[in-house]
Each structure stands twice: as structure tokens, then as C-alpha cells.
Amino acid sequence: MSGELERFRQETRDWLEENCPASMRTPMPPEEVVWGGRNAEYANPDSKLWLERMAAKGWTCPQWPAEYGGGGLSSAQAEILAEELSRIHARPALTSFGISMLGPVLLEFGTHEQRLEHLPKIVRGEIRWCQGYSEPGSGSDLASLNTRADLHGDHYIISGSKIWTSYADKADWIFCLVRTDFEAPKYQGISFILFDMDSEGVSTRPIQLISGSSPFCETFFDDVKAPAGNIVGRLNDGWTIAKRLLQHERTMISGFGLAGGQAEGGGASEGTVESIAMRYRGDAEKLSDPVLRDRIAQFKIDSEAFALTSRRSAEESEGGGPNHISSMLKYYGCELNKRRCELLLDAAGNRALGWEGEGFDEDELSLAREWLRSKANSIEGGTAEIQLNVIARRVLDLPDLTGILRGKR
């Protein structure tokens, strides 16, 4: 390692020791995850302080350009920062769809003015974003969407609805796919537009899930006005941006499979699989069940291999952003997370059967809910079947047999 990078590591270590509050070096309880936004609330005052300090350095988005509020770090410096944050077990200062999805496509497709308007606010956690993609009749076949945007002078009038809009009831702005040309083939005539969720005509309704939580919403647009300048990229070429953003989203979702991670949506019980297993099925030295020991050992090996593969993929795509490999990572990461939840249920036995009421602690009550929630990993961001199709066609370069099979019918 060069002397310059060694100096950066020491400076980073010194800064973190001085500026990361002690409570931000502990496991993150769900109620303390920081999403930011105009109406942000902080269960722990240190969370706000930690966000402000990290945002001032641009380290909530360490590799974004400094002119847009980011840290302007090189990949080597960003890796050092991540290592030093991990070393002190620091919590993420900010969880944001703006960081994981919108920001990267604005850097690639947005105008300079759009970047100046939105990226610094994302870095500072001032605006919370949601994603308007799926519709009641357009899920896996996303390109068949019908939400329309009609141009009226210098603004668009947006009408239609979206579904499975994560945290739409809490978001400030939305990045949304709309149809701007109904005469064009379905993969054309789609545009990518941004608008304020406080706009007149926007309404949301939470969807209750089997897990008991309601992170998803139905979202309705009743003649919503959005400035024409809020179109990102070329008019009627939103499908290009949509596909790119999905690669970023799938990379984010793949993080559910990183052992011990705190990835949003994947669920993360306090403690590792083996610590939970030892609590219920072990003695002073080892687990009593040899089959469970073997399953946990294999899970840990697979988790470590997945983490290394994810890191290698990020290094190989340096400068080019995510690619079709994101489908591989998304598919395997989600399957790995489902295995983790199943292992937790098996390890806890009947202590994982509690749903509410007395007789179970909070960790025990969360186990079945997290297992149920993990099933959605195979649907969100593109179903497992879609990912396998992408892998077959784009990664393995296998022939598309759809036309052949149709011809035989």
C-alpha cells in the first residue's frame, strides 16, 4: 500500500475515533435505521449527529463527485473507509433509495442541473425517495405499464397508479416510470420522471403483509403536475434508465445474503445464526445437533464465498457500474438470506413460533416474521425466474428458445 493510502487510513481512523458516537458502534435496532427526509425522526439523537458528520465529509456517498456533495474518494480510499467503519462496527449513517438507486442513474443520465438539484440533498439525507415502477397489471411485464404523462406546456399531467411502492407513505419524492407515447411499442414511449410526493393529486395506501408489517403501498396519481424539466434522460427512452436502475437495485437487494448484514428488507435478527443456535440448541462448547452444525457450517462457507464474489464483482466493474452479473448476485443473495431465516427457525425450535403476547422476547417474536418477509426477496427487484432468464441469456449466452417452442405449438 502506498504511503498516501496509509496516510489516508490513519487520518480516517483518527477522524472516526473522534467523530463516531459510541452508540453508533452497536448493532442497529430496526427503529433506529436512519432514512432521512423532510420529516425524519431520530429515535437516538446520536443517529442525527452521526449522519450530519458523515454527510459533511460526503462519506454517506464516498465515491460520488465532490461537486455534488459526495466524498470524491477513489475506489482504494473508499475501500479503506469501509474497512475502518467495519473495524469499529459503525452503523450506516444513512439508508436511502436515493443512494442505492436514483443517485447512480442521475450521475449517468441526469443533466448537470438535475445533479446539482438532487444529489447534495441525497448525500445529506434531506429528501427521502421512493420508486414508482410496478403497477397492478404490470409487475414482471413492467414495460406494459399504463401510468401516463401528458405534456401541457411546461409541465406533465400524470395519471395512473403504482403498487408495491416501498415506503411511499413516508417518502418526499418519487422516481417514476410513465408512458409518454401510447403509439410506440411498449418498450418505447416510456419516460423516467421525478416529482414531489406532496404534489396535489398524490395519495398512498399501505398494503398489509403476511409478516404483519406494511413497508409497501399502493400509490395513486390523479392529474399530478410535474415540471417537464424533471424528465431524466431522453424523452421516451426511460426503459434504458429503468433497466440500469434495476441493476443497481438488484445489487442492493443481493446484500440481504451477506452474513451478519443489516440490509434493509432482508431482516436481521440480533446475533449470528450460530449464536442463536447455541442459545437454544447448544451447551458450553458446541451445538448438540450434528446435522444442524453441518448446515450452519455450510451456510457460513457459502456466505463467505458470496461476500468475496460480491467484492470481486464490484472491483471488476469499477468505473462501469453494475452489469448483468447483478442478476446472479441478486438471485443467490436472496436464496442465501432465505436459508439464513430457515436456519434461525430450526435453531430456535418452538421458541420461533411466537407471534405476539407474553412468553416470548422481542428477538423470538421477530423470527417467524423475518422468515415470512424473506420470501418476498425472490419477487422484489425482479422475480427469481426473471433473474434466471437474464443469467441464461446475458451471462451464459444460451439460445432463446421462446420462439422455437412457440413454433412447435
For the annotated catalytic residues, the residue numbers are 249
**Measured distance between the N- and C-terminal CA atoms of the chain, rounded to whole angstroms:** 62
**Do the bridges between strand 202-207 and strand 155-162 make them parallel or antiparallel, or are there none, so unpaired?**
unpaired
Element (DSSP H or E) covering residue 152: strand 148-152
Cα–Cα distances (Å) from 1 to 9, 78, 301, in that order, read 10, 14, 29
- For residue 315, give the C-alpha cell: 472491483
Task: Compute the half-sphere exposure of residue 271: CA atoms within 13 Å on the CB side of its CA.
Answer: 17
Q: If you count them, how many residues does the chain have? A: 409
| φ, ψ for residue 203, nearest 5 deg | -140, 155
Confirm if 165 and 101 have CB atoms less than 8 A apart.
no
Could you give the count of Cα atoms lying within 13 Å of 314 in the half-sphere of its Cβ?
A: 15
Q: Name the percent of the chain in helix, strand, coil, to the closest 5.
A: 50, 15, 35
Residue found under cell 456517498 = 61
Our CA dihedral for 354, 356, 359, 363, rounded to 10 degrees, sits at: 70
d(CA 147, CA 112): 27
Task: Check: CB of residue 24 under 8 Å from CB of residue 90.
Answer: yes
Task: Please tell me the distance from the alpha carbon of residue 76 to that of residue 80, in angstroms, as a whole number.
Answer: 6
Which of 384, 390, 252, 254 has its CA nearest to residue 309? 254
Within 10 angstroms of residue 380's Cβ, the number of other Cβ atoms is: 18
b/e per residue 334-367 (b: at least 16 CB within 10 A): bbbbbbbbebbbbbbeebbebeeeeebeebbbbb
